[in-house]
């Protein structure tokens, strides 16, 4: 998304510590925040789908320091902006494993669709 240089879209990389970007988000004052994160959804690898925050399950296997639902709630409540979580179905839960061939093309297609939607919204 960052490489597409979309007008009105600012990208913050949070890694495994999503709470680390709350300060930069507060300073940027966006109308809407999209969190993108790997999510096991039982779908084809590369699938992107909106996930209801109530369906986020914190577990001992989480890669985040704080559960993403807690960070999302904080951003919504304290910064006063809408928040949406988009999950991206990984091919594997192994951190070193990346999408391969056809699944990578599928993800790139889905990212293009998302970019087109974001571009349209910024022009409204």
| Whole-number Å distance between alpha carbons of 73 and 53 | 9
| Whole-number Å distance between alpha carbons of 7 and 122 | 6
Domain around 119:
2-123
Contact 74, 14 (CB under 8 A): no
CATH code where residue 65 lies: 3.40.50.1450
Contact 65, 19 (CB under 8 A): yes
> How many folded domains does the chain comprise?
1
Helix (H, G, I), strand (E, B) or coil at 118: helix
CA quadruple 107, 11, 118, 52: dihedral sign: positive
Q: Tell me: the pLDDT tens digits for 27-59?
A: 999 999 999 988 889 999 999 999 987 777 654
Q: How confident is the model at residue 124 (pLDDT cuts 50, 70, 90)?
A: low
Q: Tell me: the pLDDT tens digits for 65-123?
A: 678 888 999 999 999 999 999 999 988 766 666 777 888 899 999 999 999 999 888 76
Pairing mode of beta strands 48-51, 82-88 = antiparallel
């Amino acid at each position: 998304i960052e490489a597409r240089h979309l007008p009105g879209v600012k990208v913050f990389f949070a890694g495994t510590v999503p709470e680390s970007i709350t300060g930069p988000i507060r300073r940027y004052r966006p109308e809407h925040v999209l969190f993108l994160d790997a999510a096991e959804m039982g779908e084809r690898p590369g699938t992107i789908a909106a996930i209801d925050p109530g369906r986020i399950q914190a577990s001992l296997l989480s890669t985040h320091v704080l559960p993403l639902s807690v960070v999302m709630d904080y951003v919504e409540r304290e910064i006063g902006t809408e928040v949406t979580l988009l999950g991206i179905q990984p091919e594997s839960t192994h951190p070193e494993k990346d999408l391969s061939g056809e699944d990578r093309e599928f993800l790139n297609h889905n990212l293009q669709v998302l970019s087109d939607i974001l571009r349209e919204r910024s022009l409204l």
